[in-house]
Amino acid sequence: MTQASAAGPVQRSAHRAEALAARLPALLVAAQRVAATVAQGIHGRRRPGAGDAFWQFRPFLQGDPTTRIDWRQSAKADRAFVREREWATAQSVYLWRDASASMRWSSPLAAEDKRARAELLLLALAALLLRGGERVRLLGAETPALSGSAGLEHLAEALLAEPDGGSGLPPDAVLTRHSRVVLIGDFLAPLEEVAAAIGRLAAVPASGHVLQVLDPAEIDLPYSGRVRFLGLEAEAETLVPRVEHVRAEYDRRLAAQVRGLGDICTGAGFSASLHRTSDSPETALLSLYMALAA
Amino acid sequence: MIFAAPAVLLALAALPLLWWLLRVTPPAPRRQIFPAIRLLAGLDPVEQEAARTPWWLLALRMLAAALVIVGLARPVFDARPALPGSGPMLVVIDDGWASAASWPRVLAAGDAVLDRLARSGRPAALLGTARTEDGMAPSPSPVMPPAELRARLAVLRPKPWPVDRFDAAAALRAWTAGPGRAGSGASVYLGDGVDAPGSAEFAAALAGIGPVTELRPDPGGERLLLAPREAGGALVAVVARLPVAGPSPPARVLAQSGDGRSLAEAVIEFPPGAASAAAPLALPPELRNALGQLVLAGTASAGAHWLLDERWRRRPVGLLAGDAIGAGTPLLGELYYLRRALNPYAELREGSLETLLARPLAVLILADRVIPDGAEAERLERWVEQGGTLIRFAGPRLAEHPDRMLPVGLLTGDRALGGALSWSKPAHLAPFPSDSPFAGLAVPEEVSVTRQVLAEPRPDLARHAWASLTDGTPLVTAATRGAGRIVLFHVSANADWSNLALSGLFVDMLRRLIALSAGIAAESESGLQAPALTLDGFGALGPPPVAAQALAGDAFARTVVSPRHPPGLYGPESSRRALNLGAALGPLAASAPIAGAVEEPLGAAAPERALGPWLIAAALALFILDLLLSLGLRGVLRRGAAVAASLALLLAAPPALPGAHAAERYPSLAIHLAYVVTGDDGVDQISRAGLLGLSDYVNQRTAAVLAEPVAVAPGRDDLSVYPLLYWPILADAPLPPADALAALNDYMAHGGIILIDTRGGAGGSGEDFNPGVDATLAGLGKALSVPPLAPLTTEHVLARAFYLLREFPGRYVGAPVWVQRQQDRANDSVSPVIIGANDWASAWAVDADGHNPYAVIPGGARQRLLAYRFGVNLVMYALTGNYKGDQVHVPAILERLGQ
């Protein structure tokens, strides 16, 4: 009881993500069915190497240590055979969410702001991954890769300890080659900057998924009349005499932004999806997980 | 309705311009934070037209602007027509005593006149017709604009003396003769409607100025207290007024003590057309000594106060003769002449010496009564030393046995003058010496003395002599003892030794002596009396004005009050003389209206009402509404917040108090004192207020927690939850019904305590306040099962239950309190009934302001404190029974321990 009541925001955030993940047994089953290896967490690399699963016998070659000879197999034939096991590695998944000021905003149409939704989704995904035995780490953070159920709390701590700010784009961090990356943010920055940032990641090479989180008000522009718009990141004010008259143009620009982001991702080998904060987080989690499992 | 500044209305023409300006100005944009602002930047709107201010907001602003313009045009409702004339206006106000009663209306009417003058822009001057406080004759103020004159009008106060019509007429004539006044003057006269000397001249002078507008008050408002009369032992208040034909409200005259408490009230009805009416004031003699003034209730004026000085006090006089049997014999008895002389002027009491001294007594007259040494003499001596005045008359007994209680030593035996065996002739009285209290009384020739007792010749004998015979032997001698005084008439109180008792001088001498009895030193009649406290125009006593001068002692009766001699109290603290306004004023008569004047009623029509401020206020409210709406349109103000704020104001109504009658329904939840409902509302109110006061006192002083007192009706309510029942007895109360008696008997039999209060029975200071109650109590005692009773002593538990008490006063003192006899061991020796006559509830009573509304008699804070203490003991006795009974035995226990 004392522990529960003394739980800080870190534990609460972790518990909430766990609770969200616990609501996805069906997702886990689906994931198992789609790709057993992914769902198991241990990815067979379809090639011999360090692992537990039997891969093949091959003839003893010069230079192989004699201790590796499978004597039982060798006895069946004239040649000596070596038992090879499949090379299995635990996948490291890099997670990132946008911490810029523009994420801390919500319209009356959404229950929580974009940052909270992004962190929730990030933690839920991490919970799923950790449960599956994957190793997760935050993109750009110094924390080591985390695994096991205890890793979720460390991850949440690291997430909340990270200060606000940032450019709204993933940082230029050192990645392991061929690792998977999940990027969550609003991606409202100019498309050239987004393309550069994702291109750097793709050059490592790394692949993954980009989840664009937007407030419903940002999508629908539900204002009318004479409105003076103010930005959150020191942008210039914009006075719109009649909002209803610019709504169509805004829709076009937003669609172009979303489409451009999708194009950038496809080109860099990333998948992309859009999530409204007014929708339930489970759908977004499912799409994320599906994208990772693919 | 008229507009005082109609030119401002032209501004209404500018409203369409305002409409157009408001329409072209777009409303301020609302501010909205938006992260995706980059996508909005540089958007080309399809249509450039800005949003318009909504039409209803425009209409609201136009209405507010229109209200401001109309308000600034100063519309006035019920406006009176402009006053006649064109030049400066003279406003004449009667500021004598008669205006004080309606002074607020006079001031309001004066203000209204100034309003009318201000509208037409005419200057004015102000003239009060009474002399000012420093004795100056009336003179008009300088001519000035009405706005400045308003301040002068506001400080004008009614004077406590009558108006001076002659001087006012002179001032009016001087005004008319002023430069540039001929032909253009006009005046407004706010009169008091009372006729005064010089009215005709005044009216002529007023009409000489120009057109006159007269504002007359309704007759009947001015009332004047005239000198009260003595009739049948009671004081009769007389009120004069202007005769009114129809019925008029009665006047209430309050008799008040010097510190402003009302002691009695008389309601005086005026017959239609009568100029004055009178009614007696019923006052017990003890209270009459405390009278300070008569006041007309509800009238603030010097004429509504009649100050009473020492001459109006009555002092109870005890009479005691040496020969009790023959004392009252007509023409022969020793007390016969004394009674005849004093009865109209003093309250006489007769009885044994002990009975007489048991009650407060100012003067005791002993006619040939010898006081032998002993307890009686000591008691009498103590009384004299505490301030009593003892008057003794000589006689055969005193001549033979002179005692200690005499002003001078007496030679044994008497001397006879002009008898058959004597050469000398009966002696006559010498004129009274100037330092004697009898100084100034005329000595009739026919008074002669044939026998007298003789004083021992001593050097200071002359100093003790207040009256002497022509041969120098003292006839009346006096000496002070302590705070009191002993006076000896050397002749007998009947016609045996002298015919003094037959003369009018006898009466005057006795009256002087009795007036002296409260310790008032004799004063020389012609001495000047300096003003001490004077009444102002509204009848409030205060320090005398600078112009007030001393008044000769013999001039009080004929002096008309004036700035030199304002009504009030004169003379030193010990012997105040009162000068009253009504003394020199006769019945009132209405003054004739000014010939040719336009008459308007004073304050009868609806007053002029300026509408401007209200319109401006409404415009301000509309502007605030506009501000709220604009903020709401810009999104600064959330709609919910505005609604919540307005609703919060509406819902701020005080919550209803639940369970106000909880005590009535569930009396057992707390300890309540209870009183028996008598059916007399006044008595029940006193009971309730008394028990309330006692409960508060008990809650403050003790650990007991008492809730509000409860009214009960025996037989209907369950009495078992009340520890104590207070039962005031009415003299004319019928015997309670059988079921009530049964309930009370049951209550007493099971531990309840009833305090029966006859509120003024025999034996106490409130003896005659509830006449006939003793018979009622006797009948009640037969019906109730009252145990054998004994007087309450200090040995009883009730005297020690909380405080140690020696007496048990309530409003009255002295009457014995009866409780159950101690040796009855039933009910743990707790008396089921306590019977007394001290009217405790009145002493305990507090009103809503926390004051004690009923004076205790004879009075003093100590008596009320003791009354409360008795109440606390009573509650403790009711709550704890004989718990403190051991205290009674403490002396015995201590004694035993000591042995």
- Transcribe B1-57 into DSSP letters: -EESSGGGGGGGGGHHHHHHHHHHSPPPPEEEE-TTHHHHTT---S--PPPPPPHHH
CATH number, domain of A30, equals: 3.40.50
CB contact under 8 A, B37 and A249: no
CB contact under 8 A, B34 and A217: yes
Nearest-neighbour CA in chain A from B14: distance (Å): 29
pLDDT of residue B527: 75
User: Among A103, A238, A257, whose Cβ lies nearest the Cβ of B41?
Assistant: A238
Q: Both A148 and A46 in a single domain?
A: no
From chain A, pick out residues whose CB is under 8 angstroms from the CB of B41. Answer: 235-236, 238
Task: Tell me if B317-516 shares its fold with B666-890.
Answer: yes
The reply to whether A182 touches chain B by the CB within 8 Å rule is no
Q: Both A22 and A107 in a single domain?
A: yes
Q: Both A204 and A244 in a single domain?
A: yes
From chain A, pick out residues whose CB is under 8 angstroms from the CB of B30. Answer: 225-228
Q: Both A219 and A107 in a single domain?
A: yes
The reply to whether A108 touches chain B by the CB within 8 Å rule is no
Contact between residue A197 and residue A224 where contact means Cβ atoms under 8 Å apart: no
- Which positions 48-67 of B are in contact with A (Cβ < 8 Å)? 48-51
* B603: Cα within 13 Å, side-chain hemisphere: 15
d(CA B432, CA B111): 62
Domain that holds residue A75: 42-89
CA dihedral B581, B585, B591, B594 (to 10 degrees): -70
Pick from B323, B321, B370, B382: which is nearest to B350 by CA? Answer: B321
pLDDT of residue A6: 46
Pick from B466, B472, B407: which is nearest to B434 by CA? Answer: B466
The reply to whether B259 touches chain A by the CB within 8 Å rule is no
CATH label, B666-890, candidates 3.90.1580.10, 3.40.50.300, 3.40.1360.10, 3.40.50.12140: 3.40.50.12140
d(CA B625, CA B60): 9
Site from B38, B630, B638 to mutate, A interface, most A CB atoms within 10 angstroms: B38
Which superfamily, per CATH, for B317-516? Answer: Class I glutamine amidotransferase (GATase) domain (3.40.50.880)
d(CA B288, CA B264): 10
Domain spans, chain B: 1-27+51-78+608-642, 89-219+590-607, 222-313+530-588, 317-516, 666-890
User: Among B35, B44, B48, whose Cβ lies nearest the Cβ of A105?
Assistant: B35
pLDDT of residue A33: 35
**Beta bridge mates, B256:** B262, B293
What is the sign, positive or negative, of the torsion defined by CA atoms of B497, B498, B504, B509? negative
Contact between residue B761 and residue B770 where contact means Cβ atoms under 8 Å apart: yes
Contact between residue B692 and residue B841 where contact means Cβ atoms under 8 Å apart: no
Q: Residue B861: helix, strand or coil by DSSP?
A: helix
d(CA A247, CA B39): 11
Give every CB contact of residue A73 below 8 A, 6+ residues apart in sequence. A57, A81, A83
Q: Both A115 and A208 in a single domain?
A: yes
CB contact under 8 A, A254 and B39: yes
CB count within 10 Å of CB B690 equals: 30
From chain B, pick out residues whose CB is under 8 angstroms from the CB of A114. Answer: 35
Q: Both A153 and A252 in a single domain?
A: yes
Which residue does chain A place closest to B34, by CA atoms? A231
The pLDDT of B329-336, averaged and rounded, is 87
Which residue does chain A place closest to B28, by CA atoms? A226
Which residue does chain B place closest to A239, by CA atoms? B29
Nearest-neighbour CA in chain A from B64: distance (Å): 26
Give ∠ CA B449-B452-B454 in degrees, rounded to 5: 135
The reply to whether A277 touches chain B by the CB within 8 Å rule is no
CB count within 10 Å of CB B849 equals: 6
pLDDT of residue B420: 64
d(CA B368, CA A172): 135
Q: DSSP letter for B297, please.
A: T
pLDDT higher than 60, residue B550: yes
d(CA B377, CA B21): 108
Which residue does chain A place closest to B30, by CA atoms? A227
Report strand pairing: B577-579 vs B568-570.
antiparallel
CB contact under 8 A, A240 and B46: no
From chain B, pick out residues whose CB is under 8 angstroms from the CB of A226. Answer: 26-30, 50-51
CB contact under 8 A, A245 and B46: yes
d(CA B457, CA B472): 11
Helix (H), strand (E) at residue B205: helix B199-209
Pick from A162, A182, A179: which is nearest to A170 by CA? Answer: A182
Tokens of B164: 């001076």
First to last CA, chain B: 102
The reply to whether B640 touches chain A by the CB within 8 Å rule is no
pLDDT higher than 70, residue B484: yes
Distance of CA B788 to the CA centre of its chain: 45
Q: Which amino acid is at B701?
A: R
Average pLDDT of chain B to the nearest whole number: 82
From chain B, pick out residues whose CB is under 8 angstroms from the CB of A242. Answer: 45, 47, 49-51
Q: Both A239 and A133 in a single domain?
A: yes
Nearest-neighbour CA in chain A from B691: distance (Å): 57
Tell me the backbone φ, ψ of residue B393, rounded to 5 degrees.
-115, 140
More confident residue, B352 or B553: B352
d(CA A73, CA B217): 140
pLDDT of residue A40: 40
The reply to whether A98 touches chain B by the CB within 8 Å rule is no
More confident residue, B521 or A110: A110
pLDDT higher than 80, residue B810: yes
Q: Which of A68, A89, A110 is the last residue of a domain?
A: A89
Cis before B6? omega within 30: no
From chain B, pick out residues whose CB is under 8 angstroms from the CB of A118. Answer: none
Nearest-neighbour CA in chain B from A146: distance (Å): 33
Nearest-neighbour CA in chain B from A289: distance (Å): 28
pLDDT of residue B347: 77
The pLDDT of B806-824, averaged and rounded, is 83
CB contact under 8 A, A235 and B41: yes
- The mean-pLDDT minimum among A192-201, B85-94, B169-178, B302-311 falls in B302-311
The reply to whether B38 touches chain A by the CB within 8 Å rule is yes
CB contact under 8 A, A226 and B26: yes
Which residue does chain A place closest to B42, by CA atoms? A238
pLDDT of residue B644: 64
Nearest-neighbour CA in chain B from A290: distance (Å): 29
Query: For the domain B89-219+590-607, what is the CATH code?
Result: 3.40.50.410
pLDDT of residue B392: 93
From chain A, pick out residues whose CB is under 8 angstroms from the CB of B32. Answer: 223, 227-230
d(CA B736, CA B758): 15
Distance of CA B220 to the CA centre of its chain: 23
Contact between residue B298 and residue B227 where contact means Cβ atoms under 8 Å apart: no
pLDDT of residue B787: 82
Q: What is the pLDDT of residues B847-863, one digit of tens each?
A: 888 888 888 888 788 89
More confident residue, B175 or B636: B175
CB pairs under 8 A between A and B: 96
From chain B, pick out residues whose CB is under 8 angstroms from the CB of A236. Answer: 41
Residue for token digits 């009075």? B859
Q: Both A58 and A202 in a single domain?
A: no
CB contact under 8 A, A225 and B51: yes
Per-residue confidence at B844, pLDDT binned at 50, 70, 90?
very high
The reply to whether B768 touches chain A by the CB within 8 Å rule is no
CB contact under 8 A, A229 and B33: yes
d(CA B16, CA B12): 9
- Transcribe B766-811 into DSSP letters: TTTSSTTHHHHHHHHHHHTTPPPEEE--TTSGGGTSSS--S---SS
Q: What is the pLDDT of residues B22-60, one digit of tens each?
A: 777 777 778 888 888 888 877 765 555 555 677 888 888
3-class secondary structure per residue, B148-197:
HHHHHHHCCCCCCCCCCHHHHHHHHHHHHCCCCCCCCCEEEEECCCECCC
CB contact under 8 A, A188 and B35: yes
User: Among A186, A214, A231, whose Cβ lies nearest the Cβ of B37?
Assistant: A231
Q: What is the pLDDT of residues B251-281, one digit of tens each?
A: 889 988 877 788 888 888 888 888 888 888 8
pLDDT higher than 50, residue B524: no
Residue for token digits 């009658």? B661
pLDDT of residue A23: 47
d(CA B606, CA B48): 60
- Sheet strand arrangement including B598-601: B124-128, B89-93, B186-190, B212-216, B598-601
- Sheet strand arrangement including A92-97: A135-138, A92-97, A180-185, A207-214, A270-276
Q: DSSP letter for B444, please.
A: -
Per-residue pLDDT of chain A (294 residues; tens, 9 = 90+): 344 444 566 677 777 767 666 544 333 333 333 323 333 444 444 556 655 667 788 888 888 888 888 898 889 888 889 888 766 555 678 889 888 888 888 888 888 888 888 888 888 888 778 777 777 888 877 777 777 767 777 777 777 777 777 777 888 777 777 778 899 998 988 899 999 988 888 888 888 899 999 999 999 888 887 888 888 887 788 888 788 888 888 999 999 999 999 999 998 888 899 999 988 887 888 788 777 765
d(CA B501, CA B493): 6
The reply to whether B40 touches chain A by the CB within 8 Å rule is yes
Give every CB contact of residue A184 below 8 A, 6+ residues apart in sequence. A95, A96, A97, A98, A118, A121, A122, A211, A213
Tokens of B483: 């705070």
d(CA B206, CA B596): 10
The reply to whether A251 touches chain B by the CB within 8 Å rule is no
**Beta bridge mates, A74:** none
User: Among B26, B32, B43, whose Cβ lies nearest the Cβ of A249?
Assistant: B43
Pick from B723, B710, B713, B724: which is nearest to B666 by CA? Answer: B710
d(CA B436, CA B454): 19
The pLDDT of B712-734, averaged and rounded, is 87
Tell me the backbone φ, ψ of residue B840, rounded to 5 degrees.
-65, -35
Per-residue confidence at B620, pLDDT binned at 50, 70, 90?
very high
pLDDT of residue A157: 76
Q: Which amino acid is at B134?
A: D
Q: Both A153 and A107 in a single domain?
A: yes
pLDDT higher than 90, residue B487: yes
Site from A242, A244, A252, A277 to mutate, B interface, most B CB atoms within 10 angstroms: A242
**Considering chain B, what percentage of its residues have pLDDT values greater than 90?**
9
From chain B, pick out residues whose CB is under 8 angstroms from the CB of A233. Answer: 35
User: Among B37, B45, B47, whose Cβ lies nearest the Cβ of A235?
Assistant: B37
Nearest-neighbour CA in chain B from A189: distance (Å): 8
pLDDT of residue B329: 84
Most trustworthy range by pLDDT among A279-288, B240-249, B399-408, B877-886: B399-408
pLDDT of residue B654: 41
Q: Both A79 and A101 in a single domain?
A: no
- The mean-pLDDT minimum among A79-88, B125-134, B723-732 falls in A79-88
Domain count across chain A? 2
User: Among A105, A230, A242, whose Cβ lies nearest the Cβ of B51?
Assistant: A242
The reply to whether A261 touches chain B by the CB within 8 Å rule is no
